[in-house]
Amino acid sequence: MEKYLIVLVGPTAVGKTALSIQLAKALKTDIVSADSRQFFKELSIGTAKPDIEEMDGVPHHFIDCMSIHEPYSAGKFELDALNTIDEIFKTHDSTILTGGSGLYINAVCEGIDDMPPTPPEIRDNLMQRLENEGLEILRNELKVIDPQYFNEVDPNNSQRIVRALEVYQVSGKPISYFRKSKLNKRPFKMIKIGLERDREELYNRINQRMDIMIGKGLFEEAKKYQAYKEINALQTVGYKEIYDYLDGKYDYEEAVRLLKRNSRRYAKRQMTWFKRGQDYAWFHPDEFEKIMTHINEKIKRAN
């Protein structure tokens, strides 16, 4: 009997969580989260992590599974997620992989090459340049050597930009090369589904969700971990803007404006990433029946 991994992707605030739970209940299976920020126990509000009530009894994997202080990578997630999926398939014919982190989705679906280790002197040099010359200079270098990754990475995430430059300096190849040069055959079939909304509808949802997050205590959550703001998990949209506000770079109103603007920009980058994949079928999140029909037809044709 064939096993099926239902891959559900889409931008932030599109409605992945609600639909994935709906699908999991219909298919009587588990959800494997590939949202790289929902891994962390400390971060709940800014990551839009589903709570117990939202999960509605559906088993979720890779939520609240580690601390922001533990090093983790897409390569490690590939191994861990495949082991988890294998365990689920011992008792289920299908399971759901969902998230907005394209790199982590690709790690499970296709695999990623091991990136070269970085000598400390190269990292130290780049970190010194970041401090002396600023992020904009390093961003421009990345744009020249790897325009594909430049268009996808969070432009304010200094650690990921530095990492991309490290990889290039060590290997002579852009970091995007390592993310696509290896395609691993998986022992299961995949049904890939993308969720999208009209841009205005999506952007309104993003703005509304940010207001809700702020009301739930987003600023307080960020402040609690301010001492660790250089950690990669906190160098992301929803936290970095608050740390700049707390550091006095701008006022509260500007922080809220940037939180919403940068979240919208992040959604745009997510769509750019996922639209590259030619094997996704795209639906509005409200089209549950259509999505279930699509899944059932795919399974029927394969069998």
Confidence of residue 182 (pLDDT cuts 50, 70, 90): low
pLDDT tens across 55-104, in order? 999 999 999 999 999 988 888 899 999 999 999 999 999 999 999 988 89
pLDDT tens across 137-180, in order? 999 999 999 999 999 888 888 888 998 998 898 888 898 887 65
Averaged pLDDT, 44-49: 96
Residues of the chain with CATH 1.10.20.140: 120-178
- Comparing 49 with 277, the larger pLDDT belongs to 49
Cβ atoms of residues 5 and 193 within 8 Å: no
Of all residues in the chain, the percent with pLDDT exceeding 90 is 72
CA torsion 124→127→131→134, rounded to 10°?
A: 140
Q: What's residue 131's pLDDT?
A: 86
Residues of the chain with CATH 3.40.50.300: 4-112+182-302
pLDDT tens across 21-38, in order? 999 999 999 999 999 999
**3-state per-residue secondary structure call for the chain:** CCCEEEEEECCCCCCHHHHHHHHHHHHCCCEEECCCCCCECCCCCCCCCCCHHHHCCCCEECCCCECCCCCCCHHHHHHHHHHHHHHHCCCCCEEEEEECCHHHHHHHHCCCCCCCCCCHHHHHHHHHHHHHHCHHHHHHHHHHHCHHHHCCCCCCCHHHHHHHHHHHHHHCCCHHHHCCCCCCCCCCEEEEEEECCCHHHHHHHHHHHHHHHHHHCHHHHHHHCHHHCCCHHHCCCCCHHHHHHHCCCCCHHHHHHHHHHHHHHHHHHHHHHHHCCCCCEEECCCCHHHHHHHHHHHHHHHC
Q: Is 59 annotated as a binding residue?
A: no
- Comparing 278 with 232, the larger pLDDT belongs to 232
- Does the pLDDT at position 113 exceed 80? no
Name 190's bridge partners.
5
Averaged pLDDT, 255-274: 94
Q: What is the CB neighbour count within 10 angstroms for residue 133? A: 11
pLDDT tens across 208-220, in order? 999 999 999 999 9
Q: Is 100 annotated as a binding residue?
A: no
Rounded CA Rg of the chain = 19
CA distances 226 to 136, 244, 266, Å, are: 23, 10, 22
Can you name the CATH fold of 4-112+182-302? Rossmann fold (3.40.50)
Out of 116-125, 190-199, 250-259, least confident range: 116-125
- Does the pLDDT at position 181 exceed 70? no
Averaged pLDDT, 109-127: 78
How far is it, in rounded angstroms, from Cα 49 to Cα 96? 17
Hey, what are 271's tokens? 């769509």
Q: Is 172 annotated as a binding residue?
A: no
Q: Is 11 annotated as a binding residue?
A: yes
Confidence of residue 183 (pLDDT cuts 50, 70, 90): low
How far is it, in rounded angstroms, from Cα 19 to Cα 98? 10
Q: Is 7 annotated as a binding residue?
A: no
- Does the pLDDT at position 303 exceed 90? no
CATH number of 120-178: 1.10.20.140
How far is it, in rounded angstroms, from Cα 115 to Cα 203? 35
Q: Is 10 annotated as a binding residue?
A: yes
Name 205's bridge partners.
none
Average pLDDT, the chain: 93
Amino acid at 164: A
